[in-house]
Amino acid sequence: MVIQTMWKDRLSFSDLENAVPRIEGLACMGCGLVRCAVPNIAAAEVLGRLAQMVSMPLVADIHYDYKIALRCMDFPIAKIRINPGNIGSTEKVRAVLERAAEKNIPIRIGVNAGSLPRDLRSGAGECPDCNPLNRAEALVEAAKRELAIFDECGFTNVVVSMKASSIADTIKANRILAGSTDVPLHIGVTEAGPLIVGVARSSAALVPLLVEGIGDTLRISLSDSMENEVIAAREILGAAAEIAAIEPQPSPQGVESEIRGSRLEGGSACEARATRLRQGGVRVISCPRCGRYGFDTHSFSSRWLPRLYALDKTISVAIMGCEVNGPEEARHADLGITGTGYKVIIFRHGKVVRTVPAADADAAFAAELDLL
């Protein structure tokens, strides 16, 4: 499973100095693909330069002008994302596919519920009575039409996404396509919302799909930072892995023990699904904080989360609000921190290993982290 996020600013040569370390930081956090909107040729030039400066695979997101896609492929980009329906004539799509085949660059077909072909739209009086398909079926039909064009051109290096803001449509559409093709799927809920809303809605839609073995790349689309999109994706994958390990799930084809690409039995099928979803890295446990607190878990978490998720260590870290309950409740954690207001306590598996003044909390925590 590859975690993707999307660059949220305009691409500009003057911003490259900031962009490079930020993208490298995302890689450390577990992000494996960054998609960049490329609205014009000038942006394609910036993307090309950026692709030469970072190790992160970059995806060029193109709408309308096939020449932008062609220019992007002069650079070491990892993927093109287009909606062939808005690229124009078949000749233009074919030109993009020929160049992509020549350069061995995959293309993601991005179908979006908000921009379905006119005959597949329903509701809002757009195509009254002419479309017998529901929204999920319409997303699948739109994807299949695009796949057919690619097929005619002999182009198979393709990924499909069918995005909707509806949880039900997202689940249904991806189940249908996963059940009828082997094409790799990028999954996500579009316009999911701000941090809390977006994570809740994305979890509801994506966990069932992931547990069923559906999805090859994912993005949690938040009205929030790229770093939080990556953290959310990791947590959703972790949650799905936990469920996949315990619950046998019917595959989209109704075959009890099948996951894509292999047929396994019972517990091994569960374990295979779980293994595919597990990310490793740091698992953070933090208490919600209450009136007993002597350590501000909220500010410590927001300060430390990006650093913790960038660590290449498979450990659990507990951030607890009070000395009375914290170390005991988090005794399973490899490393924990709590405090009593003026002093901070660092513990391992419930045993105190350091007590320092509150002002030294970050330094002492960092030192203990280094020892793990």
Q: Which residues bind ligand SF4 (CB under 6 A)?
A: 287-290, 292-293, 320-322, 325-326
Q: Of the two residues 19 and 320, which places its CB atom closer to ligand SF4 in the complex? A: 320
Q: Of the two residues 150 and 304, which places its CB atom closer to ligand SF4 in the complex? A: 304
C-alpha dist (Å) from residue 150 to 75, 83, 112, 182, 316: 22, 12, 18, 15, 45
**Shortest gap between Cβ of 291 and ligand SF4 (angstroms)?**
7
Q: Of the two residues 26 and 330, which places its CB atom closer to ligand SF4 in the complex? A: 330
First-to-last CA distance in the chain? 27
248: left (phi over 0), alpha (psi -120 to 50) or beta: beta
Cβ atoms of residues 175 and 162 within 8 Å:
no
**Shortest gap between Cβ of 292 and ligand SF4 (angstroms)?**
4
**Shortest gap between Cβ of 321 and ligand SF4 (angstroms)?**
3
Q: Regarding beta strands 283-286 and 316-319, do their DSSP bridges make them parallel or antiparallel, or are they unpaired?
A: parallel
**Shortest gap between Cβ of 175 and ligand SF4 (angstroms)?**
39
Identity of residue 133: L
Q: Of the two residues 84 and 336, which places its CB atom closer to ligand SF4 in the complex? A: 336
**Shortest gap between Cβ of 332 and ligand SF4 (angstroms)?**
14
Cβ atoms of residues 106 and 158 within 8 Å:
yes
**Shortest gap between Cβ of 340 and ligand SF4 (angstroms)?**
11
Cβ atoms of residues 117 and 145 within 8 Å:
yes
| Vertex 332 angle, CA 327 and 334, to 5° | 85
Instruction: Determine the 3-state secondary structure of 286 from DSSP.
Output: strand
Residue whose Cβ sits closest to ligand SF4 = 321
* Cα atoms found within 13 Å of the Cα of residue 237, Cβ hemisphere only: 28
Q: Of the two residues 123 and 291, which places its CB atom closer to ligand SF4 in the complex? A: 291
Q: Of the two residues 261 and 291, which places its CB atom closer to ligand SF4 in the complex? A: 291
Q: Of the two residues 66 and 293, which places its CB atom closer to ligand SF4 in the complex? A: 293
Cβ atoms of residues 296 and 289 within 8 Å:
yes
**Shortest gap between Cβ of 345 and ligand SF4 (angstroms)?**
12
